[in-house]
Structure 1
């Protein structure tokens, strides 16, 4: 039997479609503008479609700017942040979920309280720390302050709480150590949620502007968001080149999300069920 379409379901579907259109319109406008000749970007009345689509803006950005270097920097930073965040978060979450030690609840409460601390509050002490360690204008200076993610520890801890202890007991009977249990039992069982956490961490690190802007002064160490801000300032009214830079900067995230969308949805669903 076919499901009956009720008014609330129809309203939700229409609302979701409208939100999708509102989300897509700016992206389409940026893409179309990047394909226009520069003279058309400021022409009135405004037209949606270019009279003669051209890739001149993309060619100019690639030839004149340092966007390829910024791509490399953003990729290195995002990958390192993602790997280290997953490593730290998995170990911390497993410790809070499966071990008992003095002050465990208090320490976990402090971790949860860290979610409420705005990152901007820590900018000055973090910069002073990176400067004293000689890590300004280095990858590690950009990466290390982004590794600690209390919200990821909380999400993984709630997921681990929902995993049956029978699997660990069986592994212990076979002689597995606690380290082997973490990486041989818990991590493989948590693959969907780990992929979801990894993707969100990667996107956050790629889009992060404030901290890389503070800790990098060398143009060769800039990431995509910082570099694009400088491009907008130097290009002035060359809107086609600005939009071309923005499209190129966001393209990797679109590809990553498209490749791992199924895992992200599954991981979010598992986290909701287990948590």
Structure 2
């Protein structure tokens, strides 16, 4: 009985997510005239790929894709490396102020990202990084949630294993690279995937720091396609489908790593 109830709830949640997804795809395959005449019908007017060809030929979607891919990939690399090193130091190294730093990291989990927009903008403007990829990559490199995920996983590594490596003459760099990191692949995969998705979907911060059309990311570029005077529904939906398809692909390919990482690190 309980299993059937869980399966029913999961099916309902899947349908709630699937209905707008199917609606967006169906709308992107119709013409604007058919959408205006029969807005609630998914099949009226027939289907075609005209909206996708129009969106790709008339907007720099390829450049937006490349920008989002480069920014997301760099964010993943810097986040995994720097946050894992910070968590490793907080768990295994003994130094003054460690508890205070951990408390600040924990407090950062409760701070909304919108509250950091103004100070970050002033900071990156003073560093002359506005309009560059680094203004979008560096904020993710010090994400408190990523440090917390690695910290939770490193705490599960047996301390005698680390001490044995140290007795054998391994430096802390070698312990980190050859002992700790290979054992925390689920956590690294979880942080990498969530960072990629968050960076790809980011809207407010890229909108503020990127001022050139071809330098924009997918979410910011898609927002510029919506005109209050003349909304081209099919083209907007086609561009939106092109924007979220990579995220669907990432989730489908790495869903096992996501579940394993969440189960191992205890994220809620």
After TM superposition, the score normalised by the length of structure 1 is: 0.93
Q: Any idea what the Cα deviations from partners look like across 1:7-42, whole Å, max 9, x if unmatched? A: x33222111111110110000000010111221111
Using a 3 Å threshold, how does the CA distance of structure 1 residues 220 and 234 change in structure 2: closer, same or farther? farther
Q: Which moved more, 1:41-50 or 1:82-91?
A: 41-50
Kindly state the Cα deviation for residue 233 of structure 1 after the two structures are TM-superposed.
2.8
Identify the match of residue 132 of structure 1 among 94, 111, 126: 126
Q: Which runs of 5+ in 2 are unaligned?
A: none
SS at match of 1:68: helix
Which residue is 1:121 aligned to? 115
Matches within 5 A, 1:1-275: 6=1, 8-44=2-38, 46-233=40-227, 236-272=230-266
Kindly state the Cα deviation for residue 45 of structure 1 after the two structures are TM-superposed.
5.9
Is the Cα–Cα contact under 8 Å of residues 186 and 264 in structure 2 kept in the other structure? Answer: yes
CA distance in structure 1 between the partners assigned to 2:102 and 2:4 by the alignment: 43
Using a 3 Å threshold, how does the CA distance of structure 1 residues 224 and 45 change in structure 2: closer, same or farther? closer
SS at match of 1:101: coil
Is the Cα–Cα contact under 8 Å of residues 235 and 242 in structure 1 kept in the other structure? Answer: no
Where do 4+ consecutive residues of structure 1 move more than 4 Å? none
SS at match of 1:42: helix
CA distance in structure 1 between the partners assigned to 2:146 and 2:101 by the alignment: 15
Q: Any idea what the Cα deviations from partners look like across 1:131-181, whole Å, max 9, x if unmatched? A: 121111111122212321101111211111111123223322332111011
CA distance in structure 2 between the partners assigned to 1:21 and 1:63 by the alignment: 33
SS at match of 1:49: coil
Using a 3 Å threshold, how does the CA distance of structure 1 residues 240 and 176 change in structure 2: closer, same or farther? same
After TM superposition, the score normalised by the length of structure 2 is: 0.95
Is the Cα–Cα contact under 8 Å of residues 82 and 198 in structure 1 kept in the other structure? Answer: yes
Q: Which runs of 5+ in 1 are unaligned?
A: 1-5
Q: Which moved more, 1:9-18 or 1:153-162?
A: 9-18
Is the Cα–Cα contact under 8 Å of residues 68 and 200 in structure 2 kept in the other structure? Answer: yes
Using a 3 Å threshold, how does the CA distance of structure 1 residues 227 and 45 change in structure 2: closer, same or farther? closer
CA distance in structure 2 between the partners assigned to 1:234 and 1:67 by the alignment: 21
Is the Cα–Cα contact under 8 Å of residues 235 and 241 in structure 1 kept in the other structure? Answer: no
Number of residue pairs matched by the alignment: 268
Kindly state the Cα deviation for residue 130 of structure 1 after the two structures are TM-superposed.
1.3
Kindly state the Cα deviation for residue 115 of structure 1 after the two structures are TM-superposed.
1.1
Q: Which moved more, 1:161-170 or 1:178-187?
A: 161-170
Which residue is 1:3 aligned to? none
